[in-house]
Amino acid sequence: MTTDSRTTDEAAREAGVEVRPVAGYIGAEIQGVDLAGELDDTVVAAIRAAVLRWKVVFFRGQRLDHAGHVAFARRFGEPVVLPRRGTASPPDFPEIETTADRLELGGRFGMEHDEWLRRRRHTLLRGWHCDHGARVDPPAATILRAETVPPYGGDTTWANLAAAYAGLSAPLRAFVDGLRAEHRLGVGYQPRPGDDAYVRHLLDRQVASLHPLVRVHPETGERILYVNGYYVEQIAGLSRPESGAILELLLEQAVRPEYTVRFRWEPGSVAFWDNRATMHLAPGDTAHLDHPRIMHRVMLAGDVPAGVDGTPSEAITGSEPGRW
C-alpha cells in the first residue's frame, strides 16, 4: 500500500467515511465511523490507508469500552500483551495498559510523579519517543483512548518522521542512510544525586537494540528518520561528540513545527498512530492540575526494522522478536 493521497481518498469514498486532514504533513480526523460497531472491510481499509498516509488519525465522540477497544485493534493486527502493568490497568484485558499506571512509577522509587517526569525530560528533546523503541521489534501502531481528561491541558503531539527525512538535504540523507544507532531503555533519564532506585530498576531490566538510523517502512516503502529522543544512546561508529551533534541536529529536524500535529483530547477521543513512522510527545502540563487524566492504550505487534540496505535491527539485550 502506498501513501498516495488518491489511494486514501478513494478508500474513504468507497467506505463512506470522511478523512479530514488537520495539518500539512501529519494528522487527519476521521468522521462517520462508530468504532464500537461492526466495521466492514471497506471501512477498515479506509482507516488503514489514512493511518499510512497521515501517520496519526483521530476519532471523536466514540463510546468504546475495553472489549470494544481490543476488538477494534484486532482488525488491524495482533495486540501486544505486556508482562507487567500497573494496578490501574484492567485485569481482565491484558492487551490494555492504562496510562494512570505511570503515576505510580515515581512513588515506587521514592519520587513524586512530577520529579520523575522532569528527570525523564531534562532537555527539550528527551521526551519525544516512539513506544518501546528500545525493543528489537517496536510496536507497529498504538491506539490510545481517552476516558477522562482535564478541561484544559493534556494535549499530545506527534511528528512525521518520513516528512522529516524527506526534508533533509540530499547529502545529509545519503550520509544517514547507512548509519545505525543504539536505542537503550532509560538513557534519557537524569539520575538523582547519590543512590537512585529507578536507575537500579533500569539496570536490572535493560532493553537495547541496534536500529538503522533510516528504516524503510514495511508497507509504504518510505524512508523514515528513525530517531528517538528518549531511547537513542549512540550512533554506531561515531565518536561521542560526533554522535551527539548529529543526533541533536536530526532530532531538531524531526520535531520542526511543520512536521508535527497537536491534538486536544476530549472524553471518547481515540488516536491511532503508526509507531513506525512517528514520534510523539506526551503532555507535561498536567502534573500541577487537580484534574484526572485517564487514558487506555493498545499496541499492535510490530516487525524488526530494516535499513536502506535491507539489514535488520539487532537485539543487544532484553528483547527478541515476538516475545514480550
* Residues annotated as catalytic (active site), given as ranges: 129, 131, 280, 297
- Count of beta carbons in the 10 Å neighbourhood of residue 184: 23
DSSP structural state of residue 258: G
Contacts (Cβ under 8 Å, ≥6 apart) of 139: 80, 131, 132, 275, 299, 300, 301, 302
Which amino acid, residue 50?
Answer: A
Q: How would DSSP label each residue in 287-324?
A: TTSSS--EEEEEEE-----BBTTSPBPEEEES-BTTB-
Q: How far apart are CA 218 and CA 230, in angstroms?
A: 24
Cell representation of residue 78: 495482533
Helices then strands, each counted (H, E), the chain: 9, 16
**5 three-class SS:** helix
Strands 294-300 and 141-148: antiparallel
